[in-house]
Amino acid sequence: MALVFALILSCFIGLTQGQLRVGFYSQTCPNAEEIVSSVVREAVASDPTMAAALLRLQFHDCFVEGCDGSILIDNGQGSERQAFGHQGVRGYEVIDRAKAQLEAECRGVVSCADIVALAARDSIALSNGPSYDVPTGRRDGRVSNSTLADNMPDVSDSIEQLKAKFRQKGLSHKDLVVLSAAHTIGTTACFFMTDRLYNFFPGGGSDPSINPDFLPELQATCPQNGENSVRLALDRGSELTFDNSILSNIRDGFAVLESDAKLYQDEATSRVVDSYFGLLSSVLGPSFETDFVNSIVKMGQIGVKTGSRGEIRRSCRSFN
Ligand code: HEM
Ligand SMILES: *[C@@H]1O[C@H](CO)[C@@H](O)[C@H](O)[C@H]1NC(C)=O
């Protein structure tokens, strides 16, 4: 009896993350997850770069005011999404499309914050990454202010700053490495490469940690005083597939972003990178994909609003 109870309890704990719950909408809007999936599938089919955009969107949502859809609010100058730290974030119209379909099917039930989390999950699966259950039940926040995004992690942050910014959100140095590996898909604008290629601190020039075979390639794509909006793959050679090649690139000096390169210049974080390339790691683990799922589910709990806090927005771009 006690054993049965313990089994039921552990099952329950497995499904409940914080106050979120897998299948939160199973009674109130049974097709909710399928609606989001189909909208994301269509969006990615017509624009393959959208998967990466939607994965990044969840990170930027969760790191400011918690995973509460605050980044989606579009109330002009001073709204959070205008913040410098959110430069280049895309995918808002995909969230709007899912929301419109959800409102048509079950009015006032599914939060924008949950749509963001589900869309990131679907984007990973569409990129051949792992499939996983998303605990849901987030409610939408009622605050949007660009100053709140001042502390977003930045490409030129030191590894200590990056670790501290993740720690402040309840995420470990291992989560930092594993979640940065989301850069296995997507691209960056040359805008974020200028300092690393031509004005590296200290001393100017280029970042000495860039593999000498890679530097000319980066500089050819992003010439000094060239077009800032030109884009290059974050995971050289594998920008549309969710895999751990980003980690071998980081290890070998082929990281594109400065913040990714720094993950291999610190003892604790480099040990996490190396853990996926041990002689027997393909057999004995740890598995990058399993670790990634655990970390992104954890990221999805940051500052969530449940119960009577927050609201279910009618439109993701504005407060009710
Ligand atoms: C550790 C701190 C991080 C920094 C400094 C950082 C920085 C950046 C920068 C500068 C870009 C290029 C943006 C652009 O030009 O559009 C980017 C792209 C991206 N980031 Fe991060 N990032 C970090 C962590 C994360 C995390 C935790 C995730 C998700 C779990 C993530 C997911 C992505 C994705 C998928 C892209 C590609 C977006 C696209 O192709 O449109 N990043 N990141
Ligand atoms: C945003 O926050 C700043 C600093 O707290 C404040 O001065 C400003 O009025 C706020 N803006 C809006 C639109 O609420």
Any domain includes 257: yes
Looking at residue 82, its pLDDT comes to 96
Q: Are residues 106 and 61 in the same domain?
A: yes
Instruction: Report the Cα 25 to chain-centroid distance in Å.
Output: 23
- 127 and 253: one domain? no
Residue 13 confidence (pLDDT) above 70: no
pLDDT recorded at residue 189: 98
Q: Measured in angstroms, how far is the CA atom of residue 69 from the centroid of ligand 1?
A: 18
Catalytic entry in 32, 40, 60, 69: 60
Best mutation site among 161, 174, 179, 183 for ligand 1 pocket (most ligand atoms within 8 Å of CB): 183
| CATH number, residue 245 | 1.10.420.10
Query: Cα of 257 to ligand 1 centre, how many Å?
Result: 9
User: What's the whole-number average pLDDT of the chain?
Assistant: 94
Ligand nearest to the CA of 80: 2
My answer on whether 183 and 250 are in the same domain is: yes
Q: Is residue 247 part of a domain?
A: yes
Q: Given a cut of 50, is residue 60 above it in pLDDT?
A: yes
Same domain assignment for residues 175 and 283: yes
What percent of the chain stands above pLDDT 70? 94
Is it the case that residue 1 has pLDDT exceeding 60? no
What is the position in ligand 2's atom list of the atom closest to the CA of 78?
13
Average pLDDT over residues 254-262: 98
pLDDT per position as a tens digit, 226-238:
999 999 999 999 9
Residues flanking ligand 1, CB < 6 Å: 49, 52-53, 55-56, 59, 88, 90, 153-155, 162, 179-180, 182-183, 185-189, 192, 234, 257, 259, 296
Specify whether 128 is located in the same domain as 168.
no
Question: Rounded CA gap, 178 and 149, in Å?
Answer: 22
146 lies in the same domain as 212? no
Residue 279's pLDDT is what?
76
Is residue 187 in a domain? Answer: yes
Buried b (16+ CB within 10 A) or exposed e, 168-177: ebebebbbbb
Asked whether residue 66 is marked as a ligand-binding residue, the answer is yes
CA distances from 64 to 72, 132, 152, 200 (A): 11, 24, 8, 28
On whether both 168 and 206 belong to a single domain, the answer is yes
Give the residue from 116, 133, 101, 27 showing the smallest Cα distance to 71.
116
In a domain, 11, yes or no: no
Which two structure tokens, joined as six digits, stand for 14? Answer: 């497995």
pLDDT at 286 over 90: no
pTM of the model: 0.95
180 and 289 share a domain? yes
Structural domain for 200, as ranges: 159-295
Ligand 2 proximal residues by C-beta, below 6 Å: 78, 145, 147
Q: What is the pLDDT, as a whole number, of residue 17? A: 56
* Assigned domain for 2 exists: no
Q: Are residues 305 and 280 in the same domain?
A: no
Does residue 320 fall inside a structural domain?
no
Percent of the chain topping pLDDT 90:
89
pLDDT tens track for 259-278:
999 999 999 999 999 999 98
Is the same domain home to 140 and 164? no
Q: How far is CA 161 from each of CA 36, 103, 173, 260, rounded to the nearest angstrom?
A: 35, 41, 11, 13
169 in the same domain as 139: no
Of the listed ligands, the closest to the CA of 143 is: 2
Identify the pLDDT of residue 4. Answer: 46
Annotated active-site residue 86? The verdict is: no
Mean pLDDT, residues 116-145: 98
In a domain, 305, yes or no: yes
pLDDT of 282 reads 77
Q: Where are the alpha helices (DSSP H) in 47-202?
A: 50-62, 92-105, 112-126, 159-167, 173-180, 194-198
- Number of domains the chain is built from: 2
In a domain, 319, yes or no: no
118 and 169 share one domain: no
Q: Is 61 annotated as a binding residue?
A: yes
Which CATH number do you get for residue 82?
A: 1.10.520.10
